[in-house]
Every structure is written in C-alpha cells, then in structure tokens.
Amino acid sequence: MENNILKKISRQIVDKRVIIMIAFLAACVYCALSISRVHVNNDITSFLPPDTDTRRGLTIMENEFTTYASANVMLANTTYERASAAAEKIETLEHVTGVTFDNSPAHFVDSAALLTISFDGTSDDENVIAAMNEIRSLTAGFDTYTSSDIGADLLGEIAQQMVGVVALAAVVIMAVLLFTSRSYFEVVIFLIVFSVAALLNMGTNFWLGEISSITNSIAVILQLALAIDYAIIFSHRYQDEIDRFPTEREALIEALSKSIVEISSSSLTTISGLVALMLMQFRLGYDLGLVLSKGILCSLITVFLLMPGLIASFFRPLRRTTHKSHVPDITGWGRFLMKTRFGFVAVFVVILPLAIWCSSRTEYAFNDAGIDELKYSESRAAARKITGTFANDTTIAVLVPSGNYEAEKQFLRDAAELDNVKTVTGLANIEIEDGKVLTDSYTPRMFSMLLNIDYEEAEMLYAAYGVENGQYQPIFGNTETYSVPLIDMFLFLFEKIDQGIVTLDADSQETLDSLRGELERGEAQLRGENWDRMVITADVPIEGDESVALVNALRSLADGRYGEGACLVIGDVTSAKELADTFNGDSLLINLLTIAFVFIILIFTFRSVVGAALLVFVIQGSIWINFTFPYLTHTRASFVTNMIVSAIQMGATIDYAIVIMSRYLDLKKLHTPQEAMAQAVNESFPTVMTSGTIMTVAGILIAYRVSDVYIGHIGLAVGRGALISVILVLSVLPQLIVLLDKVIEKTTFRKKTTTGGAVE
C-alpha cells in the first residue's frame, strides 16, 4: 500500500517535471533577490539567554546610550618626542576629541608609544572613518599597530574569504564526485541540485529576521557536506534500475519511489542532531540548528522534486557519459579486518578511556581574545602586539537607575578603592571646578559665578527651569537656596539658547561653548532615559578568578547603594562568565539529547538495542577523540565548537555507521558474518569516502581560510571529526559488529506476522 502511494507520487513528480522546474526557477529568482536582505548579526553575546545581566544590559545600552569610537595606536621603535609630536598633530584633526598619551608605563614602554584616541562619532560614522584614515596617513612613517573597529567590515571580510572556501571546496567536490560517479554528466546534475538547494536555504533566511555571522558563513558549506549523499543515493538508485525497466521514465519512477524512503530515513539522524542543537539555552545553537535543518529540508525537496526532472531532461548525456567505477575494490581490506579479528577494537578500547580523560580536561575559552586564530588576521595580530607590550585593561560598565546622583558619587568613590581598578568614570565624578562635579547641585548664585553671568539672569533661568519641571520654589519661595544639579541646568540652558529664548554675552557664550561639546558627549555616553552608566577600567583578565571577584565586588557596592538586583554589571568579564554558565548546562544537554534522538531512530531502523548502542558508541568515541586534540596541543578550545560540533558530528557521521550496518545485515543472509562484513566494507566505501572526504576538506578549508576564530575552530573540529569517524567506521566498527553479532541477533525485535505469513 505504502509503495503504491509513493509510486503514484513519484509518477506525478516525473510527469509534471516541467511545471515543477518552472516553480523552482521562480523560487530561485525570489531567493537570489532575498539574500541581500538577510540581516547578519556579528555580536555573539546577543545570543545569550534574554534574562542574563549581560544581555539585558547590552539591550539597555543599545537603546539608551551612545558609545563613541576609540582607537589604540601603538608606535613601535620610536622616541617619546616623536610620539608626542604625532599625538599633538592627531589631536588637531577634525572629529578627534582627544588623545591620551604621556611618559607613564601605561603609554610609553621600551621605545613603544601607545596613543589612545577618542572620536566624536560612532565606529561606522563616515567622518570618524575619514579621521581614522588621516591618522593612518600621519603615522605612516612609524612602525604602527592599530587596534580599533572603526570602519571594520568584518562581515564583508568573512564573506570574501568564504567565496574562496566555496571555490576550493567545489574543485575538491567535483574531483570526488567524478571519482565516485557512474556517469560524468551526473556530476553536472549534482552541482545544479546542490546550487539550487543552497540558494533556496540562503534566500529563505530572510524569513528568520536575522541570523548569526557564524551561521551565515558556514551554513552553505555544511549543508553541502551534510546533504550531499541524498543526490548520490538517488542517482545511483536510478543507475541500478535503468536496466530493469523498458523505459527511462519507468526506471526513474521506480528509483524515486525507493529513494524517498531511503533518503528520508538517512536525513532523520542528521536532523535529530540539529534539533538537539536548537534546544540550547545559548541561542546560537538554535540559530545554526534551524538554518541547517532548513537546509536539509531544502536539499530533500530539491532532490525529490527537481532532480527527477533534470535526469529526465538529460537522459542521453547521462547514458553517453556512463563509465566504469573508479572506486577501488577494498574487499581485501575488509578481509584483513576479519583476519586480524579484534586488533583495532583492542586499540580502540585502550585509547577510548584516555580520550575521555583528555577531552574532559580540555580548557575552553569564552571570549575570542582567549582563542588562537588558525588564519592570520592583521587586526588581531595588531591587538595582540599591543596587549603584549602594554597592560591589557578590561572595561566594565555598571548600569544604575537614573536620578540618584549622590548614590552614584558614593559608588564611584568606593569603586575606585577596589583592588585592580585603574579608572572610574561617571557623571558624578566629572569635575567642573575645584571640588565640584557635574552632578553637584548649584544655586543661581553659584551658577552665575561659574559662567560669569548676571545673578538676575541666573535667577530668571532657574525660575524658568522650576516652572518647566513643576518646582515653584524659585517663584514663590527663597531663590537663594533653590539648587539644581549642574548637568540638568546646563542641558536646560543649551535647549533655551538653541530655541533663541536665552542669549548670553560673548564671554559667557565662549565659556559655555567650551563646555558644551564635552558635556553633551558625556551625557550621551553616561545618562540614558531610565539608566545612568558608569565605566570602570581594571587591570584584570577577561576570564579568571580575579575578574569574577571584581564583578562581585562591584555588584555588592551597587546593591548596597540601590538595593539588591536594581543594578546591572556588564562587560566582557560578565559575558564570559555567563557563557561559561550556559555552556556547562548546554553541553551536557546537547550531548544527551543528540545521543537519545539518534539512538531511538537507530532502534526503529535496525530493531536492535545493542546494534543501535554499538553504532552510537563508536561515533561518540570519535567525538571524544576529536576533543582530545586541544588538550594534547595545549590550546584552548572555543566553547562554541564543543556544543555545535558534537551535535553535528553525531547527527551526520552516524550515517557512515548506518551504511556499514545495513549492508552487513543484507549480505549476512547470503554469506558468513566474516565474508558479509568484508563485502559490506567494500560496498559502503564509496558512500563513506564521498561524504567523509567532502566534510573533512570543507571543514579544514574553513579552518585555515577564514580569519574569524569561532568559524575557524568550528571548521577545524568538523573536518577533524569527520576524518576520525571515517577511520573508526572503516576499522573498529566492522570488527565490533562481528564480535557482537550473536548479541545483536538476540536483542533484535522480530516483526510480528499473521498466520498467513504476512507482516502485520
């Protein structure tokens, strides 16, 4: 019954191929136009759970504050006098608001000068970018290292690098496909199918609103590596059926009806791993899992609907370019495995506990500064040079409810006394005159003396402020004692001058103008609608006990002044800590869910608990071995790599093990277990080699051709993991299956049959 339904569906697909191909053409046009509309998010912290302090704080800062651009420029192998002269020239440039430089160890060490430059706009402001270019011109005669995100097009750089990755991967893929194909022209069909599936997935990302830069960069190449088998399975099924039917049409219908079940079953394990990824607290997993799952569905739809039409349209080229298989016969390798009996299993059993131990001790980094890049990046090299020469200060922001200036003042004083704190900045410690700060309250007389204006003018200004803010003391009470925070009075005065209501004499206006730019920039950076921001710089690493202790101390001070939980302490330190906290839960959850999902699918596939457990055990072993490499090479692994690659490696490379097991169970009906396995290894080799080679090469290309550290380390782990899985599946797994053959048989669930022998 099921087969009849699939044949009817397959017949409709083949017969309606022209309409289907037109529909795909329209979909491709739509998706091609939609790709440029996909919003790509380059901020990994934005994928933190929404209830974390860092995520809440970043949202508040994005909505309420302006963060002006800055740059650290190191002039190496120079004298203090030359560097000082350069700093003076830079400070005169338009849109540069200040250059911090002196002969202290913080700015001049061993003939190296560090200039900290601030600007009057954000890092993507055209004027700021132009100013930064002028600075580069001024410092061209120096040995210069610049650390700044001004004008940095990281997404464009990664996109350009990925074009090279895809181009190189395409060459490798074509070589592999030509090697394993049965017809040269089928490679052309494969490339069309892959391209359409990738285009559909990329274009429909627009429906998701935004995706991460990591997902945007690696999804295409991973989609290809994960789904390449589908087109190969269908094509080879068609080649098998062509000689059994009188017409190509009937062979195509038969091949499609059989392939739908086979390919759909194969995709389930991959999708299950990606679904597990989507359940992470850290939303990057959801982002990547969703896009790749959608990519698998796009690949399935393209293979089932478009590929039959392409095959039907190119019957003749396919037949004319048919050739003998170039894949070597490795039955001899399979027989060698059977002769050596359990040699590889013994090695695996010895290595596995060591792999588990080493992988459990791998150190993970939760900030990109702690991860070694695999591909040279000029900007990261400059940043490392600067931090290696000068102290690497860490910046922490404290957000407090706005309006309580006295509490801010006390907090800033207390924070400045904490260990490792170097600077504290807030509205309540910006000094205006000796002993007075921007948030201190001034009476009309004090204000008139500060700006050198008539006392009567100051009284009128204070009265207008009182009326506008519902405070009537300066009108009906004693004006002498009425006071207003200086920053509020300044901003009120700026507003009235701009409206033409207030006019000052030339000297007073000059005094005010000298303050205005600095005050407005300070307000934009430090005071929001509902929150005030204070900024602390400290000599602590981004990750470590010292950093956590400082954050806890700042949080304790804030709680004491504002009440428990009323304030937010955020920065790279807190995001690293919160990423570490989510990692600990997510890592275990994803591993358990992936194993559970795959195990359940395998039980339904093979109807054997031990058989399913055996396949999962071998692939999980390859994952453990994969994550021993950071420990053995004394490098820190990216936390993102562990969570993402574990799910992908289990979900994708389990297919290699499934192919071996399926072929073995079929061949065991005709041969002894040893001979059946030898032939199963040989028959599985083309599929395992094709998929494994492409995933390995794709991963390694990403690792060493893309400068983003997260993307690079994901690529390396994917490529390395695929290679390890291929090796274990073609060596350890065959021996294990034969070793436990009797146990597998005893734990296999038999299909119930009726008295007539039919399967129920």
The 10s digit of each residue's pLDDT in 64-96 is: 998 889 999 999 999 999 999 999 999 999 999
Mean pLDDT of 93-111: 90
Confidence of residue 759 (pLDDT cuts 50, 70, 90): very low
Confidence of residue 400 (pLDDT cuts 50, 70, 90): very high
Distances (CA, A) of 315 to 173, 247, 248, 249, 596: 23, 11, 7, 10, 43
| Least confidently predicted of 281-285, 367-371, 607-611, 685-689 | 367-371
CA separation for the pair 501, 467 (Å, rounded): 15
| Least confidently predicted of 34-43, 148-157, 397-406, 749-758 | 749-758
Q: Does residue 48 contact residue 574 with C-beta atoms inside 8 Å?
A: no
The 10s digit of each residue's pLDDT in 610-667 is: 999 999 999 999 999 999 999 999 988 888 888 888 888 888 889 899 889 988 988 9
Mean pLDDT of 400-420: 92
Confidence of residue 760 (pLDDT cuts 50, 70, 90): very low
Q: What is the pTM of this model?
A: 0.85
Confidence of residue 751 (pLDDT cuts 50, 70, 90): low
Tell me: pLDDT of 14 over 50. Answer: yes
Two structure tokens written together for 662: 């399926």
Confidence of residue 754 (pLDDT cuts 50, 70, 90): very low
CA separation for the pair 5, 17 (Å, rounded): 18
The 10s digit of each residue's pLDDT in 23-38 is: 999 999 999 999 999 9
Distances (CA, A) of 739 to 643, 673, 688: 32, 10, 22
AA letter at 757: G
Tell me: pLDDT of 121 over 50. Answer: yes
Q: Does residue 295 contact residue 226 with C-beta atoms inside 8 Å?
A: yes
In a 3-state reduction of DSSP, which class is residue 500? Answer: coil
Tell me: pLDDT of 358 over 70. Answer: yes
Distances (CA, A) of 704 to 214, 215, 571: 15, 17, 30
Superfamily for domain range 2-39+155-368+577-746: Multidrug efflux transporter AcrB transmembrane domain (1.20.1640.10)
CA separation for the pair 188, 183 (Å, rounded): 10
Q: What is the mean pLDDT of the chain?
A: 88
Q: Which CATH number fits domain 70-148: 3.40.800.10, 3.40.50.2300, 3.30.70.100, 3.20.20.20?
A: 3.30.70.100
Confidence of residue 475 (pLDDT cuts 50, 70, 90): low
Tell me: pLDDT of 581 over 60. Answer: yes
Sorted by sequence, the CB contacts under 8 Å of residue 322 that are 6+ apart come out as 182, 183, 239
Residue found under tokens 């990664």: 158
pLDDT at residue number 756: 44
In a 3-state reduction of DSSP, which class is residue 114? Answer: strand
Tell me: pLDDT of 755 over 70. Answer: no
pLDDT at residue number 472: 72
pLDDT at residue number 758: 44
Two structure tokens written together for 214: 């990591």
The 10s digit of each residue's pLDDT in 292-306 is: 999 999 999 999 999
pLDDT at residue number 477: 65
In 3D space, the residue among 46, 91, 50, 59 whose CA is nearest the CA of residue 73 turns out to be 91
Tell me: pLDDT of 750 over 90. Answer: no
The 10s digit of each residue's pLDDT in 698-746 is: 899 999 988 888 889 999 999 999 999 999 999 999 999 999 999 998 8
Confidence of residue 502 (pLDDT cuts 50, 70, 90): confident
Distances (CA, A) of 58 to 53, 95, 309, 537: 8, 26, 51, 18
Give percent of the chain above pLDDT 70.
Answer: 98
Tell me: pLDDT of 158 over 60. Answer: yes
Tell me: pLDDT of 757 over 50. Answer: no
Confidence of residue 265 (pLDDT cuts 50, 70, 90): confident
Confidence of residue 2 (pLDDT cuts 50, 70, 90): low
Mean pLDDT of 382-391: 85
Q: Quick count: other Cβ atoms within 10 Å of Cβ 111?
A: 13
- DSSP output for 262-277: HHHHHHHHHHHHHHHH
pLDDT at residue number 143: 92
Confidence of residue 586 (pLDDT cuts 50, 70, 90): confident
Give percent of the chain above pLDDT 90.
Answer: 42
Q: Which of 197-201, 314-318, 389-393, 478-482 tops mean pLDDT?
A: 197-201
Ranges of each domain in the chain: 2-39+155-368+577-746, 70-148, 394-576
Confidence of residue 413 (pLDDT cuts 50, 70, 90): very high
Q: Which of 21-35, 116-130, 305-319, 492-506 tops mean pLDDT?
A: 21-35
pLDDT at residue number 114: 93
